[in-house]
A and B are shown apart, each in its own frame.
Chain A
Amino acid sequence: MPKTLYDKLWDKHFVTSVDGDGLLYIDRHLIHEVTSPQAFDGLKQFNRKVRRPDLTIATMDHSISTQSASLDACGPKNALQLKTLIKNCHANNIVLYPVGDSHQGIVHVMGPEMGLIHPGMTVVCGDSHTATHGALGTLAFGIGTSDVEHVLATQTIRQSKAKNMRVNFNGELPEGVFAKDMILALIREIGHDGATGYVVEYSGDAISSLSIEGRMTICNMSIEAGAKAGMIAPDDVTFRYLDGKAFSPKGEKFEAMKVAWSALFSDADAEFDKTVDIDVSRLSPQVTWGTNPGQVIGIDEAVPQLPDSYSDGDASAMQKALQYMDMNAGQSIDDVAISHVFIGSCTNSRIEDLREAAAVALNGQVADQVKAIVVPGSMRVKKLAEEEGLDRVFINAGFEWRLPGCSMCLGMNDDVLKEGDRCASTSNRNFEGRQGRGARTHLVSPAMAAGAALKGKLTDVRLLLRGQP
């Protein structure tokens, strides 16, 4: 029977069935300070051991400062959580890349760039954006803390099989339009829960021509459409990305792995439960106007009108979103003044993202009333950016250049917005209160965020890139 890529990865990792669940083997378990302490506690309570510490990798990202390498910088609670991670990793022989380490970074940024993630693997993490790793042809998904504990104890996870969805992105991306715009456009099209119950495979020529960084941006936000996971079949772009990475296989082993990885694709006649086609050549830069990632429009469009029918919750939900965002139905989104810009997060903090943003930042100065921060996704991204001189571009333009971490994506540290602040953000969630109670978030690409910083308002970055003032 023809199989999808997801079917193949499922079968490859199927250990046995347990009470009606499939028991899947996990090749990489990534952990961080926020969702792991209670899992380690649970193990201790039952006197259980970590089965495969060698397949478990830990870093610090969520609750750390981006201004100081001290664990105490964000107060005693954050510090205790970070120190608990150190203690748990030490007690269980798990390798930890702590603040200050040259490998440290946002869990979904540092793992792939170290070469720890290979096509065909299963990857889990107590974090919903784990689908990021699907860009390398893995089955990767987020789990809760009870399941973190389950994976620590058994190196497996209990799962029911999801349905298969394929999303074809076709056409050539216009200038000023990026991977972030592709995924936002998809969520707009299928809705905030349009992929609930599915694993999504992204394909099409617009995917083939994307870098791994761009593919990660797309897979990353699969969860914003409700998907269990997002994945992309490995190809030459994938192999080139992996070649020479610190933990990638080397020499002959790499060549042998390449042959095995090349079999990881959906069979031509494999059946998908749902297929969506998107023509990217018609896309403009996207921006969210509301409080969920499906509330998206092009920068050249107006905020939608309220639906006529009040029969379902949509109209009142829209009204609530508009009120929270202080926007009006029918209003144009271009020119909405902002107070903050955040360039970072596991969606858009890789080197390519910073290059895109820097290319725009070169053209001017951050507007007076705007506070703009750039938070590289990892120490490695930071170093590379500094070697390329991107840090100087940002600093000279008036951006703050920070230490790696999740930062203002969720504000567990001191990078929090205040009530009424309005932020152009390259992160992935525009939920009420996500970046701070009462704060407003517009999700955009790195280039759009940089453009907004210079103009002090949401603006069509295509004009800036064409050199128009």
Chain B
Amino acid sequence: MKPLITVESKAIPFAENNVDTDQLLPKQFLTEITRQGFGKHLLHDVRYLDNNESVLNPDCVLNDPVYAGAEILLAGENFGCGSSREHAPWAIADFGFRVIIAKGFADIFYANCLNNQILPITLPRVVVDDIVMQCRQDPNQLVCVDLSNQEVRFNSDVFSFAIPLHHKQNLLTGVDKIGRTLLEENAIAEYEAKALHI
């Protein structure tokens, strides 16, 4: 997968709390059998006024042309809770986001983001609130995310963020996780040989 190192872009302030994966990618799009094309359905119920996705909701910040091309999504608490559907991060990536800055993530969603080269960053509430406010006031504000140094740079502020080292390495190199695990085949086979509990 494509390495993720530094992202500098506008950020879309969609900062609600408890945005669940049912909202991010509603069930009617789960019948697809490929990973492609989910971006247009992202947040379907709030982005569109009709079921056919022909009428955009002008009040939805994701539809605001001033944020076009943004690669960073600003989110609230417990982002991505609910269903384990990876279709949600597929939609987020397909829409063009590479980084999500939130007040908190649900566990499965966090793992699913990492598996799709999306960087999930947790920052303190007040910091996210501040970035959200400023990006609302001035949509052209750029946010710079530097994974190597684990920093979010915004105006003159620098916020460091935590990420387990191995997740960071995987994102920086775009590693094939399965290929990597398969290098451990001997250990797996040994485990199988002694695990008679199955």
Which A residues contact B (CB, under 8 angstroms)? 12, 15-16, 18-21, 23, 25, 27, 34-35, 37-38, 41-42, 46, 48, 51, 55, 62-63, 77-78, 80-81, 84, 120-121, 126-128, 141-147, 149-150, 153-156, 158, 160, 162, 192-193, 196-197, 223, 226, 228, 260, 292, 312-313, 317, 410-412, 429, 431-434, 437
Contacts and interface: CB of A to CB of B under 8 A. Distances in A.
A41 B197 CA distance: 31
Interface in B162-198: 164-166, 169-170, 176-182, 184-185, 187-188, 191-192, 195, 197-198
A226 B27 contact: no
Contacts of B187: 15-16, 23
Interface stretch (B2-10, B58-66, B79-87, B137-145): B79-87
A123 to B, nearest CB: 12
B197 A260 contact: yes
B198 to A, nearest CB: 5
A81 B33 contact: yes
The 3 A-B pairs at the shortest CB distance, nearest first, are namely: A20-B166, A146-B115, A144-B86
Nearest to B165: A20
B53 interface: no
Contacts of A160: 164
Contact of B182 (A41, A145, A154): A154
A162 B107 CA distance: 10
A120 to B, nearest CB: 6
A280 B154 CA distance: 49
B33 A154 contact: no
B26 A317 contact: no
Interface string B3-34: 00000000000001110101100111011111
A21 B164 CA distance: 10
B177 A35 contact: no
B125 A312 contact: yes
Contact of A154 (B85, B104, B181): B181
A41 B22 contact: no
A412 B27 contact: yes
A16 B83 contact: no
B77 interface: yes
A9 to B, nearest CB: 11
Interface in B85-116: 85-86, 89, 104, 106-108, 111-112, 115-116
B180 to A, nearest CB: 6
B39 interface: no
A143 B191 contact: no
Given A144-B112, A193-B81, A226 B184 contact: no
B78 interface: yes
A115 B108 CA distance: 27
Nearest to A74: B31
A217 B30 CA distance: 25
Contact of A144 (B23, B27, B84): B84
Q: Which of B30, B112, B181, B198 has the most CB of A within 10 A?
A: B181
B84 A153 contact: no
A25 B27 CA distance: 31
